[in-house]
Amino acid sequence: MTTSDTRTAVPERTCIGCRRHRPQSEMIRCALSAHVATVSRTAAGRGAWLCSYECFRTAERKKAFERAWKASISAAIVRDLDEKVRFAFEGVIINMEQFSSTKG
């Protein structure tokens, strides 16, 4: 008797900071469109995935955003993105804390 594999495919992405593969749901997507950087899963433009704020700092230092977006980016765009990424990861942490407090 054979058993069928009931696992479903989970979309995975690679973090541009640490290069680890993780489920898409655990990461944030930074997109560049018309020289404006956003943090959104659905924004138009080329995307770059991050798993933590520390990986953002690493990616910035390695110029990984420029490679992922295939574009030269200014310091102003990086500063703006820094704030957006930090806020996005703080929101994730707050939501996880709320989730764990309701489970127990």
Q: What's the pLDDT tens digit per position in 33-76?
A: 888 899 999 999 899 999 999 999 999 999 999 999 999 999 99
Q: Which residue, 45, 68, 64, is CA-closest to 56? A: 64
Cα(10)–Cα(81) distance, rounded to whole angstroms?
A: 27
What mean pLDDT value characterizes the chain? 85
Domains of the chain: 12-103 (3.30.1230.10)
List C-alpha distances in Å: 36 to 11, 29, 32, 70: 26, 14, 6, 14
Residues of the chain with pLDDT > 90: what percent? 67
Q: Is there a contact between 56 and 82 (Cβ–Cβ < 8 Å)?
A: yes
Measured distance CA(50)–CA(39) in Å, rounded: 10
E-strand spans in 1-104?
12-14, 21-23, 28-33, 36-39, 46-50
| pTM attached to this predicted model | 0.77
Residue 102, CA distances (Å) to 50, 90, 94, 98, 99 in order: 27, 19, 13, 6, 5
